């Protein structure tokens, strides 16, 4: 285990600047997820940490020591790739012990540590199987055991659950949290899956265009993001244009008002999650009239999509009690934001 520090890391490839001074401090034993859209630089960041991609500026330190200039095999990192990269001609035990053999460990040490790693990932009975005879989840656990058996300072996971189906992915999220809790290794997860990032990580770093925009604990990042861009990216969100009156009230599209003490007068955007929008059949104070355009059933709840004034796109969550008689497509409803969950963003900021 070790602390990981990225200090204004820059990467330029083929004349294109990929990372624009990425800084991140990961505590000893902490799990941080790098989350962002395709092309944001999260995989390049992981590859720079691993030593696969050259750094053109900044510093990378592991346990307080610079690793710039060190090849990947001298950085003491454990890596798990999306395709797992298991050797098909080796058994599970041989795959797990490969890194130890490359480090010149004796047979007794290898056998003992492979057995411990198999117990950790709950695959002790499959030591003699070949990868072709394993399920996707079992192969993922073998790859994880192979990365952990060398006792790395940092564990790097590149889209670790991306190749699994939804049900197996959910089960493996629980397994990964258990294993991280038991091992306590400092971990970086690269993922584009928001649920995966929020469920696995102690903190989530949201990346856009080669830089980290926000780093925060999952619950805080979801409930109180500091920027419109992060709120719009992370889960579903309503971003509603409004005006703050001199009295401190929010004037909504269509003329409704919500008291919101402390806001400065001027144009703003209200950020609010669909689950904090109440669906009313009649007009009420602080609501927005909108025409229902679609209702999407999602199991325990449904999402209602509607068009407000001037084509404003709005969404709200239908609670289970309302699923028996939901509003009809084309019906006018009134959506009321919960004042306790509003986030205000200045209109001229993205």
Rounded mean pLDDT of 247-271?
87
Report the alpha-carbon distance of residue 349 to residue 228 in Å, rounded: 8
Report the alpha-carbon distance of residue 86 to residue 75 in Å, rounded: 21
- Are 162 and 105 a contacting pair, CB within 8 Å? no
What pLDDT was estimated at residue 84? 80
Q: pLDDT tens across 57-79, in order?
A: 999 999 999 999 999 999 999 99
Q: pLDDT tens across 183-236, in order?
A: 999 999 999 889 999 999 999 999 999 999 999 999 999 999 999 999 999 989
- Are 312 and 272 a contacting pair, CB within 8 Å? no
CA angle 271, 277, 283 (to 5 degrees): 115
* Nearest CA-CA partner of 270 in 345, 336, 350: 345
What pLDDT was estimated at residue 298? 82
Q: Tokens for 215, please give them.
A: 């780093």
Q: Tokens for 11, please give them.
A: 């990467």
- With a cut of 60, say whether residue 241 has pLDDT above it: yes
Report the alpha-carbon distance of residue 258 to residue 251 in Å, rounded: 7
* Nearest CA-CA partner of 255 in 284, 235, 229, 281: 284
Q: pLDDT tens across 135-162, in order?
A: 888 998 999 999 999 999 999 999 888 7
What pLDDT was estimated at residue 323? 79
- Are 231 and 271 a contacting pair, CB within 8 Å? yes
Q: Tokens for 119, please give them.
A: 């117990």
Q: pLDDT tens across 14-45, in order?
A: 889 999 999 999 999 999 999 999 999 999 99
21-38 per-residue burial string, b: 16 or more CB within 10 A, e: under 16? ebebebeebbbbbbbbee
What pLDDT was estimated at residue 128? 94
Characterize the bridge pairing of strands 257-259 and 266-272: unpaired
Report the alpha-carbon distance of residue 280 to residue 303 in Å, rounded: 15
- With a cut of 50, say whether residue 349 has pLDDT above it: no
Average pLDDT, the chain: 92
Helices and strands, number each (H, E), in the chain: 8, 20
- Go through the domains of the chain in sequence order and give each one's CATH number: 4-227 (3.40.50.300), 236-346 (2.40.50.140)
Q: pLDDT tens across 283-341, in order?
A: 999 999 999 999 998 877 899 999 999 999 999 999 877 778 889 999 999 999 999 99
- With a cut of 90, say whether residue 172 has pLDDT above it: no
- Burial zone of 123 (CB within 10 Å; 0-12 exposed, 13-18 middle, 19+ buried): buried
| pLDDT range class, residue 346, cuts 50, 70, 90 | confident
| pLDDT range class, residue 350, cuts 50, 70, 90 | very low
Side-chain-side CA neighbours of residue 233 (13 Å): 22
Q: Tokens for 326, please give them.
A: 């939901």
Rounded mean pLDDT of 85-99?
94
Report the alpha-carbon distance of residue 92 to residue 88 in Å, rounded: 9
Location of structure tokens 């192979």: 146
Report the alpha-carbon distance of residue 303 to residue 206 in Å, rounded: 25
């Amino acid at each position: 285990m070790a602390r990981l520090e990225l200090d204004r890391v820059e990467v330029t490839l083929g004349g294109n600047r990929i990372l624009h001074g990425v800084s991140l401090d990961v505590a000893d034993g902490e799990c941080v997820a790098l989350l962002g859209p395709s092309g944001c630089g999260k995989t390049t960041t992981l590859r720079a940490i691993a030593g696969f991609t050259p750094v053109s500026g900044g510093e990378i330190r592991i346990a307080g020591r610079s690793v710039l200039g060190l090849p990947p095999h001298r950085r003491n990192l454990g890596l798990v790739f999306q395709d797992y990269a298991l050797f098909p001609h080796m058994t599970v035990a041989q795959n797990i012990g490969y890194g130890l053999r490359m480090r010149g460990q004796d047979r007794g040490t290898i056998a003992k540590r492979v057995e411990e790693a198999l117990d950790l990932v709950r695959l002790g009975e499959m030591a003699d199987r070949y990868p072709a005879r394993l399920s996707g989840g079992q192969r993922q656990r073998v790859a994880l055991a192979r990365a952990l058996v060398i006792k790395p300072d940092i564990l790097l996971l590149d889209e670790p659950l991306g190749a699994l189906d939804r049900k197996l992915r959910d089960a493996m999220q629980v397994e990964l949290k258990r294993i991280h809790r038991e091992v306590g290794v400092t971990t970086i997860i690269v993922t584009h899956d928001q649920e995966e990032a929020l469920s696995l990580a102690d903190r989530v770093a949201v990346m856009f265009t080669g830089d980290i925009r926000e780093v925060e604990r999952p619950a805080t990042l979801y409930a109180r993001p500091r920027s419109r861009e992060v709120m719009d990216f992370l889960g579903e969100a309503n971003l509603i244009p409004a005006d703050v009156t001199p009295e401190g009230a929010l004037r909504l599209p269509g003329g409704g008002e919500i008291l919101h003490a402390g806001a400065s007068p001027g144009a703003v955007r209200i950020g609010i999650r669909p689950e904090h929008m109440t669906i009313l059949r009649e007009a009420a104070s602080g609501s927005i009239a909108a025409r229902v355009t679609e209702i999407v059933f999602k199991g325990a709840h449904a999402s209602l999509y509607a068009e407000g004034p001037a084509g404003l796109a709005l969404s709200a969550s239908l609670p289970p009690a309302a699923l028996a008689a939901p509003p009809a497509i084309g019906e006018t409803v009134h959506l009321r934001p919960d004042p306790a969950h509003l986030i205000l963003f200045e209109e001229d900021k993205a």
